Structure 1
Amino acid sequence: MAERRAEYADPDEVDAILSVTPDETRAPDEVTFARNVFLPLSTACVNSCDYCAFYDERGEASLMTPDEVRETVERGARAGCTEALFSFGTRAETYPAVRDELDSMGYDDALDYLYDCCLEALDHGLLPHTNAGVMTRDELGRLGDVNASMGLMLETTAEVKAHEGYATKKPERRLRAIADAGREGVPYTTGILVGIGETRRDRAESLLAIRELHREYGHVQEVIVQNVVPNERSGFARPSTGTVRETVAMARSALPDDVEVQVPPNLTDDLPSLVRAGAGDLGGVSPLTDDHINPDYDWPAVERLRAVADEAGSELEERLPVYPHHVNDGWLSTRVEEVVDKARKEF
């Protein structure tokens, strides 16, 4: 049972969102997805949450080499991908082996290395989207220069047992990081995890907390409603489809129209029902690389996504990792915008 130690949303607004049901929402006219290549730059992380299958223990964590990064983005470009998804844990350089690798290449930390990897992706016509845990405002600003978008899951505003002992999992710290991305003008993805010990009320409160940050900064592109899934570490059961549908409907009701509701297309058995509940985006799907966050769950083929959209009464459309309004309003650096312009012409 979650213990809430602070309020992050108006209680009356929370009550209103809790009353929303999937019967009150509808499938969007268009359902979008991005074609990506997944680069797990490092499997090191200062946290070791027991629902996470991504991180490796100290002594086992790796760092992708520059040659591996180059080969992967080259393959992605040949396969028609538009997004280079860079993902690694918070403060990967705290692992001695990773620190040694970075030292040998002349980098101060993992984010310095990431910067050059993003340049490599841009040189090959791919748009970087980085998920690298909690970062400072200065770090977000610097990386924003070489990223089309970035992201960090809020997960929950509740104090849950699964997060005990991890400073960067504290709700206030993650909310501050999401706000800092807005202050730096970074198009952003965030979201909530369903099934890690939070309550229905916690979910509603979390969605409204994200909404307030977007109202202030206008930077949130999409909010992921992601259900936890069983893995070799996790003792958490997969939430029912009904619970996830309910949460998708609450998200669609809570969020403004310019923020999309995203669901991972490989983590549910009834994807069309989530689209009918209001989910308008299926995230990044790779034709080449695994979902390294959830390695036991394969990406569906694009043909499957099209069938899902058809069943829900929607049209499937491919998108870039940055949404059009952020491009049109000048949120991107010149070097990233040049790659966006080229990608738009090829769509």
Structure 2
Amino acid sequence: MIPGTDAYDIAIDISDDDVERLLSVMPEDVESASALSYCRNVFLPLTTACRYTCTYCTYYDPPGQAELMDRKEIRETCRRGADAGCTEALFTFGDDPDDRYTAVHDQLAAWGHDSIHEYLREACEIALEEGLLPHANPGDQTRDQMAHVADLNASMGVMLETTTEVQAHGGPRAKNPGQRLNTLRVAGELGVPFTTGILVGIGEDWHNRAESLLAIREMHERYGHIQEVIVQPVVENERWRGGSPDLATMRRVTAMARAALPDEVSVQVPPNLAPARDLTDCGIDDLGGVSPVTVDHINPEYEWPALQELTAVAEAAGVPLTERLPVYDRFVDDGWLSNPIEAAIEADDDAGERFRSILDRGETPEAP
């Protein structure tokens, strides 16, 4: 049984036979994608406060050091992103800052907000005003928290990471796989196009990897809301010296992801962390969000590739590179979007024209 599922009343039925079948998949068993896609974004770390202290993560700052982005910085960053041709405002923050972060809570109160999710809603409003589509990744969320911001997001996300307990998640506030799956379920119940994924190399074994992918598949089969699954290797940084998965591991687990998931769910590898050029024959069809404006605040030591590098990956694979929005086309076509997001895409302004041109063409426009 997946740890924590009882506490959240989640029934996930993954048979040993299904796990064994998935474990038998190798790269030669899957087909290469006919195209690769990517999205241009700006990365906005709303706060670096987080209740968790995962040993591989450099994103969080301890109490007394964590800060909040102010409204002016949010607006200026979004404006620079829109001017650079971006379409996505990627909002991240650590899972609900707990009571240790008194300065963060005091600052939120001074700005008129009772919670970080209230402030996230205001930040999403700013992004839309500046011509970007919000995609929020705020960690585990309750139904009320997600419902409070879902209508102002084109899509949302949280990494499942793994369905097992690992030492890298250890400590008094360890991540709970059941809670992560509950967030995926809440997104499905609310009809939110959703991004999730697994982390590779944090202490899980092959059985755990297969189980995690099959758990994501089961959630998607119930709700149809998973738009992409990220296969992300853990990478060395100032807090993690446990090594990274080798190429053979990444090739096999990426192929397993492609085999586990239905065709409409994209398989993504982050090109600043994974050897994307060596994984194109393992079923990936997306290279994620990259930014011409901001750094990867979760992995700041690993720079985003330039657009020319993504083009080179696609050319080496012999497939076209297409730009996409932070919400995949099928959700636009099938009526999943909220009224504010639909209005932004249909707006008679520069941003709306940019969004529609990507939907209509899916081509990589010239950088402004």
Identify the match of residue 70 of structure 2 among 65, 70, 91. Answer: 65
CA distance in 1, matches of 2:172, 2:289: 28
Identify the match of residue 228 of structure 1 among 223, 234, 237. Answer: 234
Post-superposition offset of 1:93: 5.9
- Partner in structure 2 of residue 189 of structure 1: 195
Q: Is the 8 A contact 2:33 2:280 kept in 1?
A: yes
Identify the match of residue 79 of structure 1 among 77, 84, 93. Answer: 84
Alignment of 1:15-164 (within 5 A): 15-92=20-97, 94=99, 95-164=101-170
Q: Is the 8 A contact 1:93 1:109 kept in 2?
A: no
Moved over 3 A (4+): 3-8, 165-168
After superposition, the Cα gap between the structure-2 partners of 1:168 and 1:331, relative to the gap in structure 1 and judged at 3 Å, is farther
CA distance in 2, matches of 1:53, 1:309: 30
Q: Is the 8 A contact 2:53 2:169 kept in 1?
A: no
- Partner in structure 1 of residue 268 of structure 2: 262
3-state SS in 2 of match to 1:115: helix
CA distance in 2, matches of 1:220, 1:145: 17
Post-superposition offset of 1:100: 1.2
CA distance in 2, matches of 1:303, 1:338: 32
Structure 2: where are the runs of 5+ without partners? 6-11, 347-351, 359-368
3-state SS in 2 of match to 1:145: helix
Q: Is the 8 A contact 2:82 2:130 kept in 1?
A: yes
Percent identity, please.
53
Alignment of 1:255-334 (within 5 A): 255-268=261-274, 270-334=275-339
Post-superposition offset of 1:165: 3.5
Q: Is the 8 A contact 1:42 1:62 kept in 2?
A: yes
CA distance in 2, matches of 1:182, 1:340: 23
The one-letter amino acid paired with 1:211 is R
Post-superposition offset of 1:345: 2.5
3-state SS in 2 of match to 1:193: strand
- Partner in structure 2 of residue 216 of structure 1: 222
* Higher deviation after alignment, 53-62 or 323-332: 323-332
3-state SS in 1 of match to 2:279: helix
Identify the match of residue 345 of structure 1 among 347, 353, 356. Answer: 356
3-state SS in 1 of match to 2:152: coil
Q: Is the 8 A contact 1:32 1:316 kept in 2?
A: yes
CA distance in 2, matches of 1:265, 1:296: 13
CA distance in 2, matches of 1:181, 1:174: 11
The one-letter amino acid paired with 1:53 is T
- Partner in structure 1 of residue 244 of structure 2: 238
Identify the match of residue 249 of structure 1 among 251, 255, 268. Answer: 255
Structure 1: where are the runs of 5+ without partners? none
After superposition, the Cα gap between the structure-2 partners of 1:192 and 1:21, relative to the gap in structure 1 and judged at 3 Å, is same
CA distance in 1, matches of 2:69, 2:94: 13
TM-score, normalization: structure 1?
0.96
Once the two structures are superposed, residues 164-210 of structure 1 have per-residue CA deviations (whole angstroms, 9 ceiling, x without a partner) of 34556111111011111100011000000000000011101100000
Post-superposition offset of 1:8: 5.6
Once the two structures are superposed, residues 114-134 of structure 1 have per-residue CA deviations (whole angstroms, 9 ceiling, x without a partner) of 101101101111000001011
* Higher deviation after alignment, 148-157 or 331-340: 331-340
Identify the match of residue 201 of structure 1 among 184, 207, 212. Answer: 207
CA distance in 1, matches of 2:292, 2:116: 27
After superposition, the Cα gap between the structure-2 partners of 1:171 and 1:310, relative to the gap in structure 1 and judged at 3 Å, is same
After superposition, the Cα gap between the structure-2 partners of 1:192 and 1:48, relative to the gap in structure 1 and judged at 3 Å, is same
CA distance in 1, matches of 2:75, 2:179: 33
The one-letter amino acid paired with 1:82 is T
Q: Is the 8 A contact 1:8 1:157 kept in 2?
A: no
- Partner in structure 1 of residue 362 of structure 2: none
The one-letter amino acid paired with 2:78 is V
Once the two structures are superposed, residues 128-179 of structure 1 have per-residue CA deviations (whole angstroms, 9 ceiling, x without a partner) of 0001011101211221110000000000001111123455611111101111
3-state SS in 2 of match to 1:224: strand
Q: Is the 8 A contact 1:41 1:64 kept in 2?
A: yes
3-state SS in 2 of match to 1:39: strand
Give the alignment's Cα RMSD to 1 decimal: 1.5
CA distance in 2, matches of 1:147, 1:50: 30
Aligned length: 344
